[in-house]
Amino acid sequence: MFTMATPLRSNSTTTKGPTHMGGVSAKGYNVNMAWSGKMMGDPEYLAAFHHLLLPIASEFNPELVLVSCGLDAAKDDPLGRYHVSPVGYAHMTHLLRGLAGGKMVVAHEGGYNLKSISESMAAIVSVLLGDPLPCLPDKMVPNDDAVDCIRAVVSAQIPYWKSLRIFGSVGAKEMQYFDNSPDFEEPESHDQTQESRDRSGDVGGASGGNEDIGDSLLSNLREMAIGETMMFAVTPKSDCEHLTTLSPKPLPPDIASHRCEECNEEREPWVCLQCHHVYCGRYVNGHMLGHSGGSAHPLAISLADISVWCFLCDSYIHHPSLTPAKSSVHLSKFGEHPSSGQQH
Ligand SMILES: [Zn+2]
Ligand SMILES: [Zn+2]
Ligand SMILES: [Zn+2]
């Protein structure tokens, strides 16, 4: 069992901070994405999903996802005073569908503005029914408090999760970073970094024998914490000049059961949309990244969450010409077509 939380205002007395990570024998199995500082919205929540929650959840590879869905972070909630939009909730739900083969229970839990709750729940249910995702604004940048909060949690969790190493050199390009503002040169950041390094070092040493967590990890962490890059909330592009490479052939009907052709791993498989070969993603062994680099085939569809990534655009792509491939994967995976409704 593994839990993740995104409580509002971690400095309140009812929620705990990033180092609230589980008991002695279960360290890392509790991930507390504790927010503090400014009010958070879609860019901040999606950045936390892409850079922290999804990498860890994919690595954990759950059999079932239970969502206790408090909507007090919704826009116009009088108590939460955050501003997550219905579209933001739709995207978070969509991202979670990529886990556990889509087996997910969403239980509505809270929120104090009936209109916000209704609109957010409608957006969430629409995604669960397989409706196409509504579009988010193009480049959303999380605020600096959120980036600090995410970094603090990554710093605490990095000894326990290999997937967080993507914050180092490997992931810089793939995860869409951009040049940093001068804020990260402040002394406070350096203090936090030192503290994080000490803590990571201690934990790594104490757990004994986890050779994977070595110098490279700590230097990746340092790079992440004081480096010259900052994170984006990952949002899809609505067009891509490489869509002309799509194969006109339909995907095989049993495509959802395919595994990586290189390592036979069943987690996070992607299908090349030019040659239909299947390889694993970046949280596993990165074989699709290698295939795309070697063959110059740019587009791949995830069998986990049915999203399409373009390696040349370095971005997720939403475009009507991808609908046949998405429908085929949906049919193969869930035994039915996505619910009727206008397709993107
Ligand atoms: Zn593989
Ligand atoms: Zn290919
Ligand atoms: Zn492209």
- Measure the CA–CA gap between 150 and 45, rounded to whole angstroms: 10
The neighbourhood of ligand 2, an ion, using CB within 5 A, equals 272, 274-275, 295, 297
Taking the centre of ligand 3 as the mean of its atom positions, its distance from the CA of residue 215, in whole angstroms, is 35
Q: What are the structure tokens assigned to 77, written together?
A: 């909630």
Burial class (CB in 10 A: 0-12, 13-18, 19+), 80: buried
Domain span at 275: 241-334
Residue 344 included in any domain: no
In whole angstroms, how far apart are CA 255 and each of 61, 270, 290, 335? 20, 10, 20, 12
Statement to judge: residues 206 and 266 lie in one domain: no
Residue 78 included in any domain: yes
CATH of the domain at 254: 3.30.40.10
pLDDT tens for each residue of 161-176: 888 765 543 333 333 3
Statement to judge: residues 192 and 293 lie in one domain: no
Closest ligand to 261 CA?
A: 1
Taking the centre of ligand 3 as the mean of its atom positions, its distance from the CA of residue 33, in whole angstroms, is 32
Cβ atoms of 317 and 236 closer than 8 Å: yes
pLDDT tens for each residue of 193-241: 333 333 333 333 333 333 333 344 434 433 333 333 345 556 678 889 9
Q: Give the residue carrying structure tokens 């059999």.
A: 63
Statement to judge: residues 202 and 109 lie in one domain: yes
The residue out of 211, 231, 251 marking a domain boundary is 231
CATH of the domain at 139: 3.40.800.20
Q: What percent of the chain has pLDDT over 90?
A: 35
In tens digits, the chain (344 residues) has pLDDT values of 567 676 665 444 445 777 778 777 778 888 888 888 888 999 999 989 988 898 889 888 899 999 998 898 999 998 888 999 999 999 999 999 888 888 999 999 888 899 999 999 999 999 999 888 888 887 788 888 888 888 888 888 888 888 876 554 333 333 333 223 222 222 233 333 333 333 333 333 333 333 333 344 434 433 333 333 345 556 678 889 999 999 999 999 999 999 999 999 888 899 999 999 999 988 788 899 999 999 999 999 999 888 899 999 888 888 999 999 999 998 998 888 876 544 44
- Measure the CA–CA gap between 89 and 69, rounded to whole angstroms: 10
Taking the centre of ligand 1 as the mean of its atom positions, its distance from the CA of residue 87, in whole angstroms, is 33
Q: Is 41 helix (H, G, I), strand (E, B) or coil?
A: strand
Closest ligand to 285 CA?
A: 1
Question: Who contacts 7 (Cβ-Cβ below 8 Å, separation ≥6)?
Answer: 14, 15, 16, 32, 33, 34, 35
Cβ atoms of 68 and 41 closer than 8 Å: no
Q: What is the pLDDT of residue 235?
A: 65
Closest ligand to 272 CA?
A: 2
Q: Give the residue carrying structure tokens 């040349």.
A: 312
- Beta strand ranges found along the chain (DSSP E): 3-5, 30-32, 65-70, 104-110, 177-179, 229-231, 269-272, 278-280, 299-302, 308-310, 315-317
- Measure the CA–CA gap between 286 and 300, rounded to whole angstroms: 13
335 CA to centre of own chain: 26
Taking the centre of ligand 3 as the mean of its atom positions, its distance from the CA of residue 239, in whole angstroms, is 8
Domain count, the chain: 2
Statement to judge: residues 209 and 252 lie in one domain: no
Backbone region of residue 250 per phi and psi (left: phi > 0; alpha: psi in -120 to 50; beta: other values): beta
Statement to judge: residues 220 and 272 lie in one domain: no
Question: Who contacts 210 (Cβ-Cβ below 8 Å, separation ≥6)?
Answer: 159, 204
Statement to judge: residues 104 and 200 lie in one domain: yes
The neighbourhood of ligand 1, an ion, using CB within 5 A, equals 260, 262-263, 265, 280, 285, 287
Please tell me what DSSP assigns to residue 36: -
Q: What is the pLDDT of residue 339?
A: 67
Residue 92 included in any domain: yes
Q: What is the pLDDT of residue 243?
A: 96
